Structure 1
Amino acid sequence: MLKRLVLAMVGTALLVSPLGAWSVDGSPVRSDRAVFHITTFTTGLEHPWGAAFLPDGRLLVTERPGRMRVVDQDGRVSAPLDGVPRAERGGWEGGLLDVTVAPDFATTREVYFCHTARVQTGALTRLARARLSPDAKALEGATPILDVAPAQEEHRSHFGCRIAFGARDGKVYFSTGDGLTDPRRAQRLDDLAGKVLRLERDGSPAADNPFLNQPGARPEIWSYGHRNPQGLAFHPWTGSLWEAELGPRGGDEVNVIRAGGNYGWPLVTHGLDLDGSVISDLRSAPGMEDPLKVWTPVISPSGTAFYDGDAFPGWRGSLFLAALTMPGLVRLSIDGDQVTDEERLLTNEVRMRHVVQGLDGRLYILTDETEGRILRLE
C-alpha cells in the first residue's frame, strides 16, 4: 500500500499523520503543522453538500435531497427554507448541490446555487440565483440562469456543480461533469458538460471568454476536458483558479485552470475505466494541460478550500480537500501555483463532502452521511 501511495505522488512528498482512529470532541490531534480539536458543530443534516458563510457568521447549507437551511453560530439548524426549487433526485449524485453567496451579498442578498433538474429530454445540471429573505427563512425570486445542455436520460451522475466567484474579476465560475454516459462530451465545444464555465451574474457568457466568437463553440466555456469536477477555489495570493476532479479507477486530479485549456479527459487520463478496461494509453499529450497532482488509488476529492486564516498559522497557504474515498481531509502545501507536499488528516472514518473556512478562521467539514454532520477543527 505504501509503495502504491508513493508512486501516486508524482514527485511530491506524502505525510500520513499518525492520527489513528480520531474521535470527535476528544483529545487534541497533532498533525504536521498544527494541533487541533475536532468538535461537532451541528448534526441532523441529510447528505449536506454545499455551504457558504453569510457576513453575520451564519452558515447557509444545502442537503442533497433538496433542502437548504441556515445554521446559527451556535450550531442551531433552521427549518428548511421556503422557495427552494425542486431538485431532481435519482442516481447517486443528483439533488441540491452547491451554494455560494455573491461578493456583494450584504447589499444584494444574492445567493447562487446549483441542482439537478428534470426537463423533457432527461436530467441536467442547473445554475440558479435567488435572494435570501431578510429573515433568512426563504429564497425569493429563484430563477434558473443556465442549464448544462444537452440533458441525458440513461445515467444521473457526474454533475460536477461547484460555484466560485472570481477573486479579481467578479465573474461566476461553474464546474460541470461529463454526465458519465458519454465521456467524449467533455471534449466537445458545442456541449457544456465536462467544463469549467465563466459567466456574468445573469448566466450569460463573460465578455472576454476564449471561445466567445468561435463558430460551433459554446461561449460560456472557460476550460474543457474535465470528468467530474467537484472542487473549485481561488488561490488567495496568486489569484489563480484551482480545480479538483474525480477520476475513474485512479486518476483523481488537481489542476490550475487556464483560459481555453484542454485538461484531457477522456483522451488523456491516469486512470482505468470503472470496469478495469483501458480508457487511454496517454498520460500527457501536446496541447493538453497536465495536472499538478494525481492520485492513484483515488481519494475522490469533492469540496476544496484555501486556508488564509489566523487560527492555524502553520496551515496558511494550504489547499484542503474533502475526500470521499479513503475518506478524510487532505492538506496540500502550496508554493505559488505548485504542490510541494501532501498530508492526510482524519482518515478512514467518514466520507467528507466539503470543507469551508469560517469567518473565525476555523475549518468546517460537511460529512456525506444520511445523518450528516458539520465538524469543526479548532
Structure 2
Amino acid sequence: MRFTRLLLCLGLAGLLTAPALSAETIDSERASFELETVAEGLKNPWGLAFLPDGSMIVSERAGNLRLVNPKGKLGEPLQGLPNIVVKGQGGLLDVAVDPDYASTGWIFFSYSEPGERGNSTALARARIEGKVLVDVTRIFSQKPKVESNAHFGSRIVFKGDGTLFLTLGDRYSRMDDAQTLDNHHGKVIRINKDGSVPADNPYVNTEGALPEIWSIGHRNMQGAAMHPETGELWSGEHGAQGGDEINIDRAGVNYGWPVVTYGEDYGGGKIGEGFKKEGMETPIYYWLPSLATAGMTFYTGDQFPKWRGDLFVASLRAETLSRLDIEGERVLHEERLLADELGERLRHVVQGPDGYLYLLTDQSDGKIIRLKPAK
C-alpha cells in the first residue's frame, strides 16, 4: 500500500464553496481515492444525514443542529431544540432523516435529556421550517434517569417496516442493568416512528419487561447500520479496555455485557465471567486493543465497486476508518485506512446519495470530509 502526503489548503471556516483539503492519491487494497474537506468549523460533530435536496443536516454535541448545503456552506444553528445536557459524553447526539421525508418532513434526533433524578438518552422528531424546528415531539426517553455523564449511546436506524431502532448505553455506573429487562440501560430499543411500541417486539408480553426492548447485554453502542441485503441490524459497541464488538443485533438476544466480554477493566482486572457463556451471544468480530468504534455504514454505491458490500467503521481512539470484508455473517478481513493520512478522531461515516463516503472528525473544529475515487 502506498500512502502519499496530504496537502492542506485553508479556506473560510464553515463557509466553503470549494474543497479545502486536497490530497494526492491514497492507494488502498481495493481502491484508490482522494480526500476533500466539504465543510469545517463544526464543534464536535456527532451525526450526519442527507436531505432529499442533497444538503446535509449535522448535529454538534455542543447542542446545535446545522444545515450544510451541497456546496459546503454551513448554516446557522437551527432554533427550537429541547433542553439538552451538554456534559461529558452527553449532548446532542445522532440525527436521521425519515425515509418517508417527502411525505412527512420528519427528522429524528437523539440527545441527553435532563430530569429531576439525573439524565438519560431521549429521542425526538421535528420538522424544519426555515431556520426553526417546529412540531418538536419527544417520542422516547430512556428509563431510569441517573447521575452519569457517560455511555449515552446512540444511533438511530430505520428498519424499513415503519419502525426504528435506537441504541442505548449502559450509563457506565449502571452496567449490571444491561442484564435486566426493567430498564433501558445497555439495550437496543425498537419503536414506531410515533413512539408507540410494535406489537411484535420480543418482550411485549413479558411481565416486568419494558416493551420497547429489542436486545440486551450491551455496553455503549455508537455505531449501527442495516445490512443492505438481509435487512438485519448490525451494531458496533465500545468495549472497556479492549473488546470493541460488531454484533448482528437480533430480537430477544442477550449480547453478554457485563457477564462476558473480551475487554478488561481500566487499569487491568477481569470483568465478568470470561469470553463466553451459554445463552449469551458472542460478537462476530472484536478488537484487542480497543479502537473506540463509532459510526458505521455498509457501502452499496457505484463509486467504489470493489468496496460494495463492505462494512466501514469509524474509530475515535485509533483515528482510523476500518474496512471490513464481509461474507454472509463473517468478517473475512480488516483493512485500516487514514491513520497516517488524516490522523484525526473519526466520529461517523455515512454513504452519500452520490455514492461517496463522508466522514465526521470529532474535533472542536470538526470537519466533513469526503472520500472520492482518485482522478
| TM-score when normalising by structure 1 | 0.92
- Residue equivalent to 2:136: 142
Give the whole-Å Cα distance in 2 for the aligned partners of 1:157 and 1:51: 21
- Residue equivalent to 1:102: 98
Contact 2:296 2:349 in 1 (8 A): yes
Give the whole-Å Cα distance in 1 for the aligned partners of 2:113 and 2:5: 39
Secondary structure at the residue paired with 1:254? strand
Q: Does 1:161 align with 2:141?
A: no
String of CA shifts for 1:313-342, please: whole Å, max 9, x gaps.
111001111100111111111112221111
Q: Which amino acid aligns with 2:82?
A: P
- Residue equivalent to 1:181: 173
Structure 2 vs 1, CA of residues 170 and 19 (structure 1 numbering), >3 Å: closer, same or farther? farther
How many Å apart are 1:279 and its aligned residue?
0.7
- Residue equivalent to 1:14: none
| TM-score when normalising by structure 2 | 0.93
- Residue equivalent to 1:60: 57
Secondary structure at the residue paired with 1:185? helix
Structure 2 vs 1, CA of residues 21 and 177 (structure 1 numbering), >3 Å: closer, same or farther? farther
Q: Where do 1:68-147 residues align within 5 Å?
A: 68-91=65-88, 93-133=89-129, 135=130, 137-147=131-141
Give the whole-Å Cα distance in 1 for the aligned partners of 2:196 and 2:133: 22
Secondary structure at the residue paired with 1:98? strand
Give the whole-Å Cα distance in 1 for the aligned partners of 2:330 and 2:189: 23
Contact 1:195 1:221 in 2 (8 A): yes
How many Å apart are 1:206 and its aligned residue?
1.3
Secondary structure at the residue paired with 1:161? coil
Contact 1:252 1:294 in 2 (8 A): yes
Contact 2:4 2:25 in 1 (8 A): no
How many Å apart are 1:142 and its aligned residue?
1.0
Q: Stretches of 4+ moved more than 2 A in 1?
A: 17-24
Q: Does 1:354 align with 2:348?
A: yes
Give the whole-Å Cα distance in 1 for the aligned partners of 2:99 and 2:212: 21
Q: Which amino acid aligns with 1:158?
A: H
Secondary structure at the residue paired with 1:288? coil
How many Å apart are 1:170 and its aligned residue?
2.5
- Residue equivalent to 2:219: 227
Q: Does 1:198 align with 2:186?
A: no
Give the whole-Å Cα distance in 1 for the aligned partners of 2:64 and 2:47: 11
- Residue equivalent to 2:15: none
String of CA shifts for 1:286-306, please: whole Å, max 9, x gaps.
111110001001111111111
Percent identity of paired positions between Structure 1 and Structure 2: 47
- Residue equivalent to 1:279: 271
Q: Which amino acid aligns with 1:46?
A: K
Within the candidate set 10, 30, 33, 1:33 is matched to: 30
- Residue equivalent to 2:12: none
Within the candidate set 315, 320, 336, 1:323 is matched to: 315
Give the whole-Å Cα distance in 2 for the aligned partners of 1:175 and 1:138: 27
- Residue equivalent to 2:42: 45
Contact 1:22 1:346 in 2 (8 A): no
Give the whole-Å Cα distance in 1 for the aligned partners of 2:179 and 2:80: 36
Segments of structure 2 that go 5 or more residues without pairing to the other structure are 8-20
Segments of structure 1 that go 5 or more residues without pairing to the other structure are 1-16
- Residue equivalent to 2:234: 242
Give the whole-Å Cα distance in 2 for the aligned partners of 1:138 and 1:320: 33
How many residues matched? 357
Q: What is the RMSD computed on CA atoms of the aligned residues?
A: 1.2
How many Å apart are 1:280 and its aligned residue?
2.2
Give the whole-Å Cα distance in 2 for the aligned partners of 1:75 and 1:63: 16
Larger RCO (CA within 8 A; separation ≥ 6): 1
- Residue equivalent to 1:12: none
